[in-house]
């Protein structure tokens, strides 16, 4: 996307422009000079490595960050032994934070061997003041720290660091700015995530995302459609529309548009074969969306619909704004409209005050809905969220026991449900050469289930009809069917 920028156009001896994205192109041009000088000095092109933690939002942000780094001339490294290392962090649960701290020590040892090395941290964790304080105090070797609202400024921040020689910390509390038309470097040539909105306004009581990602902001439909057209012209056949709550897309626009209306427009794009989206909040999933899903030939028959808990009492304290019954009724309506839909979910175990009865309600939802798969999480206390000060912490061994019971049942059901397409022929988008079996490729069905079948790399990116011969629980072994 917009990778054809001619950086030579920018006169880096003059002052930087104030308007975006021109300002960033100017700093990319400036940064490129430094990269070239380093190349001259070392006799080889400097390398950069990005490690992404967390969700698909972060993965997409990393593609934008990589786009900037490629534009300024860095070669992509495969690990941290690089001249520029960037960790794009997640803080949704405590163990996400621990992973980052765990790896920073290793980066320090690498930097001692390569004095030119620059280390940068960005993403959700950096939006927490306590984290930034700790980095400043105990991790002096980190060169650049920035947050979730200014990733577009990467080149500017690198320039600042090179000029000032001091550590750069640039965190914004929030923003209403959406900078379009910056370069991106996609991980896959045939599929891509596309942000349709940023931030979240829901404030589920356990969740830190609204604090670190800011208020909900939707992109203009024209900008989304233009980006999609461009992607399709580059060979993309599958898109994942991204937002923390895609069902409330467009509500805050000057000329409001519903998510269902946006989908109808996206459906018209010629050459686009598959449309996915996440995440759907049950409280905002409209009848109009169900209709669009029913009528569409491109929207995948897969819906990720996080339930979090099956107990109406707990759902209320979680501030999810639906009851167990409303959730079950919604599932019923969706299944009526799209009978072969694959449903997946997120579940939290051990929320403050969760009793055995509450937990059994969650198990009951799992039995009734029979999810294709469920991501199960142990509640993690996040500083600053309302749940952090709630009483009734569930003892660790109780949580562990509930978690194990839930996971066992989720997995049993999942392997039964996933086998339902056995001995049928389904379209599979081939994604990679199989990592384990020689002469095989791996792809995904429309409902997201993985299929392995004999083939070679020439199939990557194409949609192939595959006969599903054997179910292995969570995936299939198949053979390409004749067209």
Which residues form the interface with ligand SAH (CB under 6 A)? 92-93, 206-207, 209, 244-245, 279, 281, 306, 308, 346, 348, 377, 379-380, 382
Using CB under 6 A as the binding rule, whether residue 197 contacts ligand F3S is answered as no
DSSP string, 1-69: --TT--GGGS-TTSPPPSSTTHHHHHHHHHHHHHHHHHHHHHSS--EEEEEE-SSHHHHHHHHHHHHHH
Number of residues in contact with ligand F3S under rule CB under 6 A: 11
Count CB neighbours of 384 within 10 A.
12
Task: Please report, for residues 86, 292, 476, the alpha-carbon distance to residue 82 in angstroms, rounded to integers and kept in the order given.
Answer: 10, 47, 38
Token pair, residue 300, equals: 């995948």
**Region 295-334 residues binding ligand F3S, contact defined as CB under 6 A:** none
**Shortest distance, position 197 Cβ to ligand F3S, whole Å:** 12
Please answer whether residues 421 and 449 qualify as being in contact, where contact means their C-beta atoms are separated by less than 8 angstroms: yes
The span from the CA of 21 to the CA of 257, in Å, is 26
Q: Is 454 left (phi over 0), alpha (psi -120 to 50) or beta?
A: beta
Using CB under 6 A as the binding rule, whether residue 213 contacts ligand F3S is answered as yes
Among 68, 144, 209, 263, binds ligand SF4 (CB under 6 A): 209
Nearer to ligand F3S, 212 or 266 (CB): 212
Residue 54 binding target from ligand SF4, ligand F3S, ligand SAH, none, CB below 5 to 8 Å by type: ligand F3S
Using CB under 6 A as the binding rule, whether residue 202 contacts ligand SF4 is answered as yes
Using CB under 6 A as the binding rule, whether residue 207 contacts ligand SF4 is answered as yes
What are the φ/ψ torsions at residue 390 (nearest 5 degrees)? -80, 150
**Shortest distance, position 69 Cβ to ligand SF4, whole Å:** 28
**Shortest distance, position 209 Cβ to ligand SF4, whole Å:** 4
Residue 58 binding target from ligand F3S, ligand SF4, ligand SAH, none, CB below 5 to 8 Å by type: ligand F3S
Close Cβ partners of 353 (under 8 Å, ≥ 6 residues apart): 314, 317, 390, 391, 392, 394
Among 72, 121, 209, 262, binds ligand F3S (CB under 6 A): 209
Residue 210 binding target from ligand SAH, ligand F3S, ligand SF4, none, CB below 5 to 8 Å by type: ligand SF4
**Shortest distance, position 148 Cβ to ligand SAH, whole Å:** 14
DSSP-derived 3-state class of residue 309? coil
Element at 294 (helix H, strand E): helix 287-295
The span from the CA of 44 to the CA of 284, in Å, is 53
Nearer to ligand SF4, 52 or 202 (CB): 202
Please answer whether residues 149 and 214 qualify as being in contact, where contact means their C-beta atoms are separated by less than 8 angstroms: yes
Residue 303 binding target from ligand SAH, ligand F3S, ligand SF4, none, CB below 5 to 8 Å by type: none
The span from the CA of 266 to the CA of 272, in Å, is 9
Using CB under 6 A as the binding rule, whether residue 461 contacts ligand F3S is answered as no
Residue 212 binding target from ligand F3S, ligand SAH, ligand SF4, none, CB below 5 to 8 Å by type: ligand F3S
Using CB under 6 A as the binding rule, whether residue 200 contacts ligand SF4 is answered as yes
Residue 379 binding target from ligand SF4, ligand F3S, ligand SAH, none, CB below 5 to 8 Å by type: ligand SAH
**Shortest distance, position 158 Cβ to ligand SAH, whole Å:** 30
Token pair, residue 396, equals: 């660790």
Residue 159 binding target from ligand SAH, ligand SF4, ligand F3S, none, CB below 5 to 8 Å by type: none
Using CB under 6 A as the binding rule, whether residue 244 contacts ligand SF4 is answered as yes
Token pair, residue 397, equals: 């061994």
**Shortest distance, position 389 Cβ to ligand F3S, whole Å:** 20
Nearer to ligand SF4, 95 or 479 (CB): 95
- In angstroms and rounded to an integer, the radius of gyration of the C-alpha atoms of the chain is 24
**Shortest distance, position 18 Cβ to ligand SF4, whole Å:** 33
Element at 239 (helix H, strand E): strand 238-242
Nearer to ligand SF4, 174 or 454 (CB): 174
The span from the CA of 262 to the CA of 231, in Å, is 17
Q: Which residue has the tokens 């006969």?
A: 467
Burial of 466 (0-12, 13-18, 19+ CB in 10 A): buried
Strand partners, 49: 85
* Residues constituting the chain: 483
**Shortest distance, position 345 Cβ to ligand SAH, whole Å:** 8
Among 26, 29, 32, 58, binds ligand F3S (CB under 6 A): 58
Residues that bind ligand SF4 (CB under 6 A): 200, 202-204, 207, 209-210, 244-245, 281
Residues that bind ligand F3S (CB under 6 A): 54-55, 57-58, 90-92, 124, 209, 212-213
């Amino acid at each position: 996307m917009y990778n054809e920028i001619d950086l030579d156009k920018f006169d880096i001896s003059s002052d930087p422009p104030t308007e975006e994205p021109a300002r960033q192109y100017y700093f990319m041009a400036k940064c490129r000079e430094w990269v070239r000088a380093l190349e001259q000095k070392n006799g080889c092109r400097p390398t950069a490595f990005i490690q992404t933690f967390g969700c698909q939002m972060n993965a997409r942000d990393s593609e934008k960050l990589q786009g900037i780094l490629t534009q300024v001339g860095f070669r992509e490294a495969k690990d941290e032994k690089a001249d520029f290392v960037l960790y794009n962090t997640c803080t949704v649960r405590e163990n996400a934070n621990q992973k980052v701290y765990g790896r920073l020590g290793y980066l320090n040892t690498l930097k001692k061997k390569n004095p030119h090395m620059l280390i940068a941290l960005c993403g959700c964790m950096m939006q927490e003041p306590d984290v930034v304080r700790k980095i400043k105090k105990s991790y002096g070797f980190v060169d650049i720290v920035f947050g979730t609202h200014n990733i577009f400024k990467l080149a500017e921040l690198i320039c600042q660091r090179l000029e000032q020689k001091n550590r750069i910390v640039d965190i914004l509390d929030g923003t209403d700015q959406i900078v379009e038309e910056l370069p991106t470097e996609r991980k896959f040539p045939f599929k891509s995530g596309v942000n349709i909105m940023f931030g979240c306004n829901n404030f589920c009581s356990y969740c830190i995302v609204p604090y670190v990602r800011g208020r909900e902001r939707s992109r203009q439909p024209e900008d989304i459609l233009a980006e999609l057209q461009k992607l399709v012209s580059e060979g993309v056949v599958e898109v994942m529309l991204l937002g923390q709550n895609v069902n409330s897309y467009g509500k805050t626009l000057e000329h409001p548009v519903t998510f269902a209306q946006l989908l109808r427009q996206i459906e018209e794009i010629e050459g686009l074969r598959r449309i996915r989206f996440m995440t759907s909040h049950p409280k905002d999933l409209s009848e109009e969306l169900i209709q669009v899903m029913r009528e569409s030939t491109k929207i995948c028959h897969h819906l990720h619909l996080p339930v979090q808990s099956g107990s109406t009492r707990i759902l209320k304290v979680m501030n999810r704004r639906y009851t167990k019954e409303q959730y079950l009724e919604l599932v019923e309506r969706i299944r009526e409209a799209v009978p072969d839909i694959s449903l997946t979910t997120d579940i939290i175990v051990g929320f403050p005050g969760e009793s055995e009865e509450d937990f059994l309600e969650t198990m009951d939802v799992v039995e009734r809905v029979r999810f294709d798969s469920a991501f199960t999480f142990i509640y993690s206390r996040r500083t600053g969220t309302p749940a952090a000060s709630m009483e009734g912490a569930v003892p660790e061994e109780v949580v562990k026991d509930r978690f194990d019971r839930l996971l066992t049942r989720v997995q049993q059901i999942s392997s039964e449900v996933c086998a339902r397409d056995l001995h049928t022929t389904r379209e599979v988008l081939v994604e990679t050469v199989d990592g384990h079996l020689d002469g095989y490729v791996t792809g995904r069905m429309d409902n997201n289930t993985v299929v392995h079948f004999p083939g070679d790399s020439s199939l990557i990116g194409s949609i192939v009809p595959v006969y599903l011969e054997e179910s292995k629980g969570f995936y299939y072994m198949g053979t390409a069917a004749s067209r």
